[in-house]
Amino acid sequence: MAKMGNKPCWWLIHSSRSRMSTTILLITCLLTWAKCQENQSMTQEEKLVIRDQIIEMFDHAYGSYMKYAYPADELMPLSCKGRVRGQEPNRGDIDDSLGKFSLTLIDTLDTLVVLNKLDDFEDAVRKTVRDVRLDNDVVVSVFETNIRVLGGLLGAHVMADLLRQRGERMQWYQDELLHMAKELGHRLLPAFNTTSGLPYPKVNLRYGVLNPLSRTGTESDTCTACAGTMILEFAALSRLSGESVFEENARKALDVLWDRRQRGSDLVGTVINIHNEEWVRRDSGVGAGIDSYYEYLMKAYILLGDNVFLERFNIHYSAIMKYISQPPLLLNVHMHNPTVSVRSWMDSLLAFFPGLQVLRGDLKPAIETHEMLYQVTKQHKFLPEAFTTEFRVHWGQHLLRPEFAESTYYLYKATGDPYYLRVGQSIVEKLNAYARVPCGFAAVQDVRTGTHEDRMDSFFLAEMFKYLYLLFSEKTELPIDIDDYIFTTEAHLLPVSLSTTKPPCPGNDTETDPVSHEEDLFTHSCPSLETLFPNNPSFAKTIRDSYKYLTGVGRAFHPLPVREIELPLHDNGMEPVEFLKSMGISLTPLNEVMAGEGRRQKDRKGVYRVKLVAELSQTQEEEEVLPHVVQLISPPYLGRTVLTAGPAKFGLDLTKQEHGVKGSIVKASPYTACGPIDNAQELEGHIALALRGDCMFAAKARRLQEAGAIGVIFIDHREGSNSEETPLFQMVGDGDSTEDINLPLVFVFSREGAVLTAALEEHQNVDVLLLPKERQLGHDKTEKPVSMNIKLRLAEEGELDEGAARGPTLEFFLEKEQLLLKEEEEEELEHREQQHKACTKADKDGRTAPCTAGSSPTTKSNCGPDTNP
Ligand code: DMJ
């Protein structure tokens, strides 16, 4: 039995008098028990059990990859097979990590050593040397190939070398992995062949960039992190191989980014033009697009001991703490106008930042932000790819990203607070409960529905298992001294001795550019061991405590004193109760409240005394998205095929167009609309179909608008996605002003998109109408005016349980007139039956069915889109 102080929980239950207080205390007690658990230290045995669990999970994930997928790049854990590029439907830029080089194997190599699986490591190294080719005719992302493959080869080489030197194993090893790393480095180098020195985002492993056979080199932009996350791997490669060219190129790219920082704010943007060095996206944060640029400045200093990196980092860090960090939040601001935040959501990649702050020795904000992230995981099980500043889901996907585990590990190292072990334990449990599938672990398509996606990215094995295993291991239990290494952004291990044992190659020092600067706390400081590892568990707790109910989850129910709530006085002077009554709502205040104090209130207009019964919301409402549709109106569809679509937060507002926007559809070329549009003539005056991915919605829209399109339908690139299973979302701009975009824009999932592309293939002309769903043609079942007879009464004391608490709010009970409810249900049932008959018939006849493909995000459509033409 868990204890509260010295007293067990049951003591509280038995000493309470009324039923209500018993309930409240029980809930409080349970929550406190959970809290006690969170703060309780963890015994060695318990840690060992969790560590074994992590090993078992790793075996399941890695074993599945080796069994079902190897030598493919990635495992498809739902199909139990490998993902081979070109053999699976193209997912856009995500696929640029796949170079037909057994990505997951290479990314996992040094994890095998950390987890003390030395036989498996030796075997995996043999396989890598024997099977992996790095000269495939494939266009890959320079950034991803660097951090996953080059980093993976270098980390594994360092480990292999160490084991060989110990003389116990790997005696056959002759630096093969280092030779492979060097080969790969040379294959990436053509990307740096730009006048600026900023690398191209993609390279063809066999043909480079500007070669006519390379199929790449037309890109003009790259992300800041993409250009600024090379130095660790490239410097390590230079120092291990003696070839300075790699480190020189990585330094040059960093110099450009530094030089192009906004001098007023000391911030950088998210996307930069690699030819003219102009910023393409000026929003600035610490998450997607920028994250590891900052990480690499700090870590380059630690690895290479070169002050220039620390100075740059410190100046950026001051700016981040001034404008971006609003503990516990990390916001995105405009780099030129940093007091203005540019969006109301955060992305999950920023979860690495508390870990970096630990390295920086700035524990307080690290603890605050980490606690905020933990609260979000409690509410949504995992960190959604993006969540609002009110902690609602903005983009519900979860790719098994490791950043939260990474920060948890760093915070545990820094504080020694067992709370972080409990956080780690919750990560382990959630992965097993919600992501584990028979052939591995599957990404979550949407944390709200828990549906899975057929992908297990290689970083899950490279990073997640390392950080989790290290969290639960004693230093002495590890096969290497972990403090001798620095983790790359992909958690590959590079020895910190590199700068002393392998000095910089000649000409490799970046000149310290004399920056005259307002000095502050961070300008000249080094990470300090004292602040870094205070090893005082209660230090973190006092900081955390103010954030523990941030999202409302886990708060105990405390009845609150009577409060006054202002209800609006209507223009027509009606009393609030009458005003509500005119809407069919009758309000009955608690008798006791009225009896005791009602008389005093009589003369006070506009103030109605009621009891506020709960304060905090248990589950946040999702952001409301107004469903739109794409309605096919030309023959043979004649309005009968209606595809559910999501709107955009920018472009023409379709809710303001009485009749929607009509036009015939034409596929954009290139289909992603990320390069120059080469079928402008065909598109002129038509609605473009464009595939999601590779670049921002706003960039695509701009190009298509310039090409003369009158609207755009974006089609999801994720295979099989559909509006029945995935909640709709609103497309957002690119952080900069999107006022120049005046086209109507809608988004359809891939199954609905397939209906459009199939229609286009079959018929020369397909006219569609874009409009809000409620205005679709022939939709005569106009929303019934609300004719429910709602009775409201206020909750009795103790009637609400803790789980129902929401707030700040009034809690009413709705009592719907039974008769009306029944009528509605019957009508719905009849409607479904009719649709079902029509669909079944259409299936048999193979004819067009008068059905709606995914017509509602919540109700299942009666016919899938594949039955439509
Ligand atoms: C990893 O590949 C790296 O950590 C990268 O820097 C960004 N995040 C992914 C995993 O989420």
pLDDT tens profile 43-101: 999 999 999 999 999 999 999 999 999 999 999 999 999 999 999 999 999 999 999 99
Phi, psi of 258 (to 5 degrees): -65, -45
- What pLDDT is recorded for position 779? 62
As beta bridge partners, residue 772 has 628
- Block residue for tokens 């056959």: 172
Kindly name the residue from 96, 120, 144, 802 that is annotated as catalytic: 144
Q: Give pLDDT tens digits for 625-656.
A: 889 999 999 888 888 899 999 999 899 999 98
Atom 3 in ligand 1: residue holding the nearest Cα: 490
* Neighbour count for residue 44 (Cβ, 10 Å): 8
Percentage of the chain exceeding pLDDT 70: 72
C-beta atoms surrounding 280 within 10 Å:
20
> Does 852 score more than 80 pLDDT?
no
Report which ligand 1 atom has the smallest distance to the Cα of 148.
2
What is the chain's length? 869
95-109, 454-468, 646-660: segment of lowest average pLDDT: 646-660
For 432-438, what is the mean pLDDT? 98
Q: CA–CA separation, 676 vs 678, rounded Å?
A: 6
Q: What is the CATH number of the domain that holds 489?
A: 1.50.10.10
| Cβ atoms of 604 and 576 closer than 8 Å | no
Active-site residue (options: 248, 266, 371, 403): 403
Average pLDDT over residues 800-810: 45
Residue 535 confidence (pLDDT):
58
Element (H, E) at 409: helix 403-415
* Alpha carbon of 84 to ligand 1 centroid (Å): 21
Catalytic status, residue 291: yes
Shared domain for 541 and 633, answered yes or no, is: no
SS3 letters across 711-738: EEEEECCCCCCCCCCCCCCCECCCCCCC
**Residue 479 in domain:** yes
Beta carbons within 10 angstroms of residue 799's beta carbon: 13
SS3 699: helix
For the ranges 321-325, 668-672, 716-720, the lowest mean pLDDT is seen at: 716-720
CA distances from 403 to 232, 400, 467 (A): 19, 9, 9
Dihedral over alpha carbons 334, 337, 343, 347 (to 10 degrees): 40
Q: What is the CATH number of the domain that holds 683?
A: 3.50.30.30
Which stretches of 202-335 are assigned E, i.e. beta strand? 202-204, 221-223, 271-273, 279-281, 283-284, 325-326, 329-330, 333-334
Q: How would residue 40 be classed by pLDDT, with cut points 50, 70 and 90?
A: confident
Selection from 21-35, 154-168, 536-550, 564-578 with the highest mean pLDDT: 154-168
The more confident residue out of 203 and 532 is 203
Q: Residues 57, 160: one domain?
A: yes
CA distances from 440 to 110, 434, 496, 531 (A): 20, 12, 34, 40
Q: Is 231 in contact with 247 (CB distance < 8 Å)?
A: yes
Atom of ligand 1 nearest to the CA of 491: 4
Residue 826 is predicted with a pLDDT of: 55
Contact 740, 773 (CB under 8 A): no
In a domain, 306, yes or no: yes
One domain for residues 315 and 453: yes
- Whether a cis peptide bond, with omega within 30° of 0, leads into 418 is no
Closest ligand 1 atom number to CA of residue 399: 11
Q: Judge whether residue 549 has pLDDT over 90.
A: no
| Least confident piece of the model among 59-68, 225-234, 384-393, 722-731 | 722-731
Same domain for 359 and 246?
Answer: yes
160 CB-near residues (< 8 Å, 6+ apart)? 121, 125, 170, 173, 177
Task: List the 661-667 sheet strands across, edge first.
Answer: 745-748, 711-715, 687-691, 661-667, 767-772, 628-632, 641-645, 852-853
Domain membership flag for residue 618 = no
Residue type, 147: I
Task: Give the phi and the psi of residue 652 in degrees, each rounded to 5.
Answer: -65, 130
In a domain, 431, yes or no: yes
Over residues 499-535, the pLDDT tens digits come to: 887 777 655 555 555 454 554 444 444 444 444 555 5
The helix (run of H) or strand (run of E) holding residue 446 is strand 443-446
641 labeled binding residue: no
Name the pLDDT band for 138 (thresholds 50, 70, 90).
very high
Residue given tokens 């053509």 in the structure block = 190
CA of 670 to the centre of ligand 1 (A): 28
pTM of the shown model: 0.66
What tokens does 813 get? 């009970």
In this structure, the answer to whether residues 384 and 235 fall within a common structural domain is yes
- Answer for the pair 139, 96: CB distance below 8 angstroms, yes or no: yes
Residues 74 and 104: beta-carbon distance below 8 Å:
yes
Q: Look at ligand 1, atom 10, and give the residue with the nearest C-alpha.
A: 401
Strand blocks (E) in 538-582 = 563-566
Q: Is 278 a catalytic residue?
A: no
Domain count, the chain: 2
The range of the structural domain enclosing residue 483 comes to: 32-502+528-546
Ligand 1 atom index nearest CA of 403: 11
User: Which atom of ligand 1 lies nearest, measured to the CA of 458?
Assistant: 2
Q: Are 177 and 155 in contact (CB under 8 A)?
A: no
Q: Is 52 a catalytic residue?
A: no
Where is the domain boundary, 481, 512, 546?
A: 546
Task: Report pLDDT for 620.
Answer: 37
pLDDT value for 657: 85
DSSP state of 746: E
Q: What is the rounded CA–CA span in Å between residue 709 and residue 167?
A: 67
Stretch 484-513: mean pLDDT = 80
Neighbours of 807 (CB within 10 A): 16
The candidate with the shortest Cα–Cα distance to 346, out of 285, 424, 434, 264, is 285
3-state DSSP call for residue 494?
A: strand
Between CA 494 and CA 482 the distance in angstroms is 10
Q: Is residue 758 part of a domain?
A: yes
Task: Mark which of 546, 574, 607 sits at the end of a domain.
Answer: 546
Q: Which pLDDT score, from 0 to 100, does residue 382 have?
A: 98
Closest listed residue to residue 304, CA positions, set 450, 599, 504: 504
Cα–Cα distance measured from residue 395 to residue 344, given in angstroms and rounded to the nearest whole number: 12
Query: Given ligand 1 and candidates 291, 403, 466, 487, which is best to mutate, with the most ligand atoms within 8 Å of its CB?
Result: 403
Contacts 24+ apart (CB under 8 A), 273-277: 273/220, 273/221, 274/194, 274/196, 274/198, 274/199, 274/200, 274/201, 274/219, 274/220, 274/221, 274/222, 274/227, 275/194, 275/195, 275/196, 275/220, 276/196, 277/196, 277/198
Joined tokens for residue 688? 């473009």
End residue of a domain, out of 546, 573, 604: 546
Give dist(CA 659, CA 792) in Å, integer.
39
Ligand 1 pocket test, pick from 74, 349, 382 with the greatest ligand atom count within 8 Å of Cβ, gives: 349
What 3-state DSSP class applies to 418?
coil
Which of 291, 347, 454, 463 is the catalytic position?
Answer: 291
pLDDT score at 601? 43
CB–CB of 324/346 below 8 Å?
Answer: no
In the reported structure, the alpha carbon of residue 834 is separated from the centroid of ligand 1 by a whole-number distance in angstroms of 50
Judgement on whether residues 78 and 219 belong to the same structural domain of the protein: yes
What is the rounded average pLDDT of the residues 582-597? 44
Between residues 857 and 710, which one has the greater pLDDT? 710
* Strand, coil or helix: 626: coil
- Out of 88, 96, 306, 385, pick the active-site residue: 385
Does pLDDT of 619 surpass 60? Answer: no
**Average pLDDT of the segment spanning 401-412:** 98
Inter-CA distances, 11 with 22, 293, 556, 833, Å: 11, 54, 18, 57
> What separation in angstroms does the CA of 500 have from each of 305, 306, 497, 645?
9, 11, 5, 58
User: Which of 37-41, 422-426, 779-783, 865-869 reaches the highest mean pLDDT?
Assistant: 422-426
> Do 533 and 643 fall into the same domain?
no
| d(C-alpha 558, C-alpha 554), whole Å | 12
Angstrom distances, CA of residue 48 to CA of 37, 45, 778, 802: 17, 5, 64, 35
Please determine, for residue 335, whether its predicted confidence score (pLDDT) is greater than 70: yes
The predicted structure's pLDDT at residue 817: 39
Q: In the predicted model, what is the mean pLDDT of the chain?
A: 80
847 in any annotated domain: no
Q: Cα separation of 43 and 868, whole Å? A: 60
Q: State the DSSP string of 193-225.
A: -SSSSPPPSEEETTTBTTSTTS------EEEHH
Q: Looking at the structure, do residues 353 and 491 belong to the same domain, yes or no?
A: yes
Does 828 qualify as catalytic in the annotation? no
Q: Looking at the structure, do residues 542 and 641 belong to the same domain, yes or no?
A: no
Residue 136 · residue 101 · CB < 8 Å: yes
Q: Same structural domain for residues 541 and 643?
A: no
Tell me the C-alpha to C-alpha distance, in Å, between residue 419 and each of 18, 431, 473, 541, 545. 34, 19, 15, 8, 12
> Residue 674 forms beta bridges with which residues?
none
Q: Given CA atoms 222, 227, 230, 234 in this order, what sign does their dihedral have? A: positive
pLDDT at res. 800: 52
Ligand 1 contacts (CB < 6 A) are: 147, 292, 349, 401-403, 459, 489-490
Q: Is residue 696 part of a domain?
A: yes
Look at residue 590 and tell me if it is in a domain. no
R_g (Cα) of the chain, nearest Å: 30
* 542 and 633 in a common domain: no
More confident residue, 838 or 175: 175
Question: CA 723: distance to chain centroid?
Answer: 20
